[in-house]
Amino acid sequence: MTNLLDPSILFFMFGIFAGLIKSNLEIPAPISRFLSLYLLMALGLKGGFALNKSGFTPEIAISLGIAITLAIAIPLIGYQLLKWKLNKLDAAAIAATYGSISAVTFITATQVLDQGSIVYGGHMAAAMALMESPAIIIAILLANRIRQQRSGSETPRTSLGKVLHESFTDGGQLLLLGSLVVGLISGDAGHKVMAPFSIDIFKGLLAFFLLDMGLVAARSIGDLKNQPPVTYLYGLIAPPFHALLALGLCHLLYVPLGDTVLLMILAASASYIAVPAVLRHAMPEVTPALYMGMSLGITFPLNIILGIPSYIFIAKAMA
């Protein structure tokens, strides 16, 4: 698979190796945060520039509709499956993690598509933003109901309004949407001015960020010790199942190849930033090592190394 020879993927694998041998190689947290914000800003700009050219079409509306459908269906399905084997609060937390998305997996996938000359819509950046919050909201509603059932009376509830505010004003998501709007408004003129920033250095900074993510993923593998076997199984099987669900919807509604691949990858990914940040406060009964270990220790490496090329191959076969 040529994906494995991509410098960004190789740096990710090197990061995992360095982490597993317990090297002292480390990317300072402020630099890692900067790289994350840069990638979101560059992605938003590229999406905005593409939307400026294409305009808003029925095809775009279909893709966004599928994105929202997946964002609601995946956490609900996940919770129904997991609650039979796990504590219900644990099940809700994991379902939210896998119902939301990984921006880095998405960004990496766009680079693979660019290299393969597979066209995708700029609106897919908006689809990614739309898919981040529904799972969080569902998890909070489930947690409130579970606590009430356990106590048999009214108990203090997590404020849904506060959760909604945190979800929709999260810095990374707001930057992504703001950059999308800037690119949409500025169009070709903005594209020419920002190309050295949003295109020329993008690949190098993505590789540096994936090196850091490899180090983080290696550390997260240790969080999986003593977790129930079903968590390992879910972390391996859920991503391809979710990707096939997305593929089925896209095939039925004639979504173009590039958009289909990205919807598959969004559906297959799991959050390790937005959802954990909210769940730490909203669901303190659940140890973060559970959902963070699954997301970063199993699903993220699986998607980056094997998932992206596999989903592209399957989508091409079905096209």
Is residue 118 within 8 Å of 312, Cβ to Cβ?
yes
| Spatial distance between the Cα atoms of 300 and 305, rounded to a whole number of angstroms | 9
Q: For 32-318, CATH number?
A: 1.20.1530.20
Per-residue pLDDT of the chain (319 residues; tens, 9 = 90+): 566 677 888 888 899 899 889 899 988 989 988 988 888 888 888 888 888 887 788 899 999 999 999 999 999 999 999 999 888 999 999 999 999 989 889 989 998 998 888 999 888 888 888 888 888 888 888 888 887 777 665 555 666 666 666 666 667 778 878 888 898 899 889 989 998 888 888 888 888 988 988 888 888 877 777 778 888 999 999 999 999 999 999 999 999 999 999 999 999 999 887 777 777 777 888 887 788 889 988 999 999 999 999 999 999 998 7
Supply the pLDDT for residue 308.
94
Encode burial over 297-319: b for 16+ CB neighbours within 10 A, e otherwise.
bbbbbbbbbebbbbbbebbeeee
| Spatial distance between the Cα atoms of 208 and 216, rounded to a whole number of angstroms | 13
Tokens of residue 176, six digits: 């992504």
DSSP class of residue 225 equals: T
- Quote the distance between the C-alpha of residue 244 and its chain's center: 16
User: What is the CB neighbour count within 10 angstroms for residue 236?
Assistant: 13
Name the phi and psi angles at 128, rounded to 5.
-60, -45
Supply the pLDDT for residue 4.
65
- Its pTM stands at 0.86
* Identity of the amino acid at 273: I
Tokens of residue 39, six digits: 């990638």
Alpha helices in 83-201 (DSSP H): 88-99, 103-115, 124-130, 134-151, 160-168, 171-195
* Identity of the amino acid at 292: M
| Spatial distance between the Cα atoms of 61 and 53, rounded to a whole number of angstroms | 16
Supply the pLDDT for residue 162.
67
Is residue 108 within 8 Å of 304, Cβ to Cβ?
yes
